[in-house]
Amino acid sequence: MKASAFSYARATSVVNALELLVAHGDRAKVLSGGQSLMPAMNLRLISPELIVDIGELAELRGIAVRGDVLSIGALTRHVELQRSPEIATHAPLLTEAIVHVAHPAIRNRGTIGGSLAHADPASELPACMLALNATIVVRSQAGERRIAAGDFFTGIYETVLSPHELLIAVELPVARRNAAHFFSEFARRHGDYAITGLAAQATVAGDIFTELRLVFFAVGDRPVLARSAERLLNVRMTPALLSDASAALGEELEPQEDQQASASMRRHLAKVLLARCVSALLGRSDLNAGGPA
């Protein structure tokens, strides 16, 4: 199928893009890498009247470290995240996660801003933003808003972005000493959207977690920061404790059923990932010996 007829405008600046968005309201759509927008238009899931192409706006591109903040422009492509030494040093969770996003051809065009604005609950980058406690920076003609990643995603393909706003950057605290991360997902084939995944960021002192952000994805309408992880903080880990946390995780998650997996399978896979994650982060193979409770 082909997209419905639409008009096209190439924005010359952020100011110009915002003018176009205000003038056309929800009849306009922003185009970044086009890797989600164009398929949706071709399938006629959406039919915007105007495409506002921001792809040439150099001011939205790039990765920089300022003090203890790592800033990533919205138009930074997946492949640039993958290859960036700054990302590898200061947010290695992203380096590990990004190779699970689709395939090289899509990573060559897709952008971090597009992925976050698209807000697919099975996407890797939204979950990483939550795990890394990111701030998402958006701009409108009224000025800039800074939104915690935990408040940004509101449902399947839904965020707090209004049609008049542009996502312009994300900011991440740089990884601290003793920081550790874990990323893993189950997918039918490498590069497919996840059936269930986990992005985790932790601080480990000896063999104790002093911080643990476990974010499960593809198990709800948005990435889920697991409250059950709190049970694993500031205590010496035992198989019994992990088993309790696993049971609590099962209660906490409300996965959807679809053609890929049942809700109970997703819940089971999340528990498997929890055990693998805790075992890997603490270097304790005994914790993963029997799989999930």
Ligand X SMILES: Cc1cc2nc3c(=O)[nH]c(=O)nc-3n(C[C@H](O)[C@H](O)[C@H](O)COP(=O)(O)OP(=O)(O)OC[C@H]3O[C@@H](n4cnc5c(N)ncnc54)[C@H](O)[C@@H]3O)c2cc1C
**Residues of this chain that bind ligand X (CB under 6 A):** 29-37, 39, 74, 101-102, 106, 109-111, 113-115, 117-118, 123-125, 161, 166-167, 193
One-letter amino acid of 191: G
Which one, 6 or 243, has the nearer CB to ligand X?
A: 6
What are 70's strand-pairing partners? Answer: 65, 172
* Minimum distance of ligand X from residue 53's CB (angstroms): 9
Using the minimum distance from each CB to ligand X, give the nearer residue, 192 or 244: 192
Q: Between 117 and 149, name the residue whose CB sits nearer to ligand X.
A: 117
Q: Which helix (H) or strand (E) holds 133?
A: none
**Beta 50-53 vs 7-10: how paired, if at all?**
parallel
Closer CB to ligand X, 36 or 279, in the complex:
36
Residue 58 Cβ, how far from ligand X at the closest point, in Å?
14
Shortest spacing between CB 268 and ligand X, in angstroms: 21
Residues in the chain, overall count? 293
Q: Tell me the closest approach of the beta carbon of residue 79 to ligand X, in angstroms.
A: 11
Cβ proximity to ligand X, 107 vs 181, nearer residue: 107
Nearest approach in angstroms of CB 48 to ligand X is: 8
Structure tokens at 128: 């990483």
CA dihedral 113, 227, 210, 174 (to 10 degrees): 10
The candidate with the shortest Cα–Cα distance to 239, out of 203, 182, 286, 283, is 286
Of the pair 116, 287, the CB lying nearest ligand X is at: 116
| DSSP labels, 92-125 | HHHHHHHTTSS-HHHHTT-BHHHHHHHT-TT-HH
CB of residue 150 vs ligand X: minimum separation in angstroms? 18
Q: How far apart are CA 214 and CA 278, in angstroms?
A: 10
Measured from the CB atom, the residue of 109 and 268 that comes closer to ligand X is: 109
Helix (H, G, I), strand (E, B) or coil at 85: helix
Q: Is 70 helix (H, G, I), strand (E, B) or coil?
A: strand
Tokens, residue 98: 């990004």
Min dist CB 143 to ligand X, Å, is 16
Task: Give the three-state DSSP class for 241.
Answer: helix
Q: How far apart are CA 178 and CA 34, in angstroms?
A: 38
